[in-house]
Amino acid sequence: MADIDDLSALKIEREPLNVGGGRWVRWVVLLVFLAGAGGGAYYWLTRERPIEVEVAEVSERAAGRQASVLDGNGYVVARRKATVSSKVTGKVIEVNVEEGMEVREGQVLARLDDSTLQAALRLYRAQLEAAKRQIPESDVRLAQARVQLTRQERLRKEGLNTPNDIDNAKAEVDSLVARIASLQEQVKVAESQIAMQLTAIADTVIRAPFTGVALSKDAQPGEMVSPVSAGGGFTRTGISTIVDMRSLEIEVDVNEAYINRVRPNQPVVATLNGYPGWEIPASVIAVVPTADRQKATVLVRIAFNPSTSSGLPRAESRGKQLDPRILPDMGAKVTFLREADTTAAAASSAAAQTVTLVPQGAVKTDSGTTFVFLVTGATVERRAVKTGGTDGDRVEVLAGLKGGDRVVIAPPPELAAGKEIIVK
- pLDDT digit of tens for each residue in the chain (424 aa)? 445 555 555 555 555 545 455 566 667 667 776 766 665 555 555 456 788 888 888 877 665 556 678 889 999 999 999 999 888 888 999 999 999 999 999 999 999 999 999 999 999 999 888 888 888 888 888 888 888 888 888 887 777 777 888 888 888 888 888 888 888 888 898 899 999 999 999 999 999 999 999 999 988 999 888 887 655 567 788 899 999 999 999 999 999 998 999 999 999 999 999 888 788 999 999 999 999 999 999 999 999 986 544 444 444 445 567 888 999 999 999 999 886 543 333 444 444 457 788 888 889 888 888 999 999 888 888 899 988 777 667 788 888 888 888 899 888 888 888 888 888 7
Give the start-to-end residue ranges of the domains of the chain.
49-66+342-424, 68-80+244-337, 84-113+205-243, 115-203
Contacts of 323 (CB under 8 A, 6+ apart): 280, 308
Question: What is the H or E stretch that residue 183 is in?
Answer: helix 163-203
Conformation bin of residue 220: beta by default, left when phi > 0, alpha when psi is -120 to 50: beta
Strands (E) in 30-97, as ranges, are 51-57, 59-61, 68-78, 81-84, 90-95
Q: How far apart are CA 96 and CA 87, in angstroms?
A: 18
Give the whole-angstrom CA distance, residue 309 versus residue 315. Answer: 11
**Ramachandran bin of 232, using left for φ above 0, alpha for ψ from -120 to 50, beta for the remaining angles:** left
> Using an 8 Å Cβ cutoff, are 345 and 375 in contact?
no
CATH top-level class of 49-66+342-424: mainly beta
Burial class (CB in 10 A: 0-12, 13-18, 19+), 218: buried
User: Within 10 Å of residue 176's Cβ, how many Cβ atoms?
Assistant: 19
Whether residue 243 contacts residue 222, with contact meaning beta carbons closer than 8 Å, is answered with: no
Q: Is 332 buried (19+), middle (13-18) or exposed (0-12) by CB count in 10 A?
A: buried
Residue from 118, 93, 104, 73 nearest 225 by CA? 93
Q: Taking a C-beta distance cutoff of 8 angstroms, is the pair 371, 399 a contact?
A: no
Q: Which residues 6+ apart lie within 8 Å of 215 measured at CB?
A: 99, 100, 240, 241, 242, 243, 328
CATH tag, 84-113+205-243: 2.40.50.100
**CA 36 centroid distance within chain:** 67
Strand 235-236 versus strand 224-225 pairing type: parallel
Confirm or reject CATH 1.10.3470 for domain 115-203, answering yes or no. no
Instruction: Tell me how far apart the alpha carbons of residues 421 and 206 are, in angstroms, rounded to a whole number.
Output: 68
Which of 247, 326, 217, 341 shows the shortest CA–CA distance to 280?
326
Query: In angstroms, what CA-CA distances link 256 with 296, 338, 393?
Result: 6, 18, 16
The fold adopted by the segment(s) 68-80+244-337 is Elongation Factor Tu (Ef-tu); domain 3 (2.40.30)
Enter the pTM of the model.
Answer: 0.58
In this structure, the number of other CB atoms found within 10 A of the CB of residue 310 comes to 12
Closest CA to 386 of 374, 375, 373, 370: 370
Q: How far apart, in whole angstroms, are the C-alpha atoms of residue 258 and residue 289?
A: 14
SS3 235: strand
CA-to-CA distance for 317 and 282, rounded, in angstroms?
A: 11
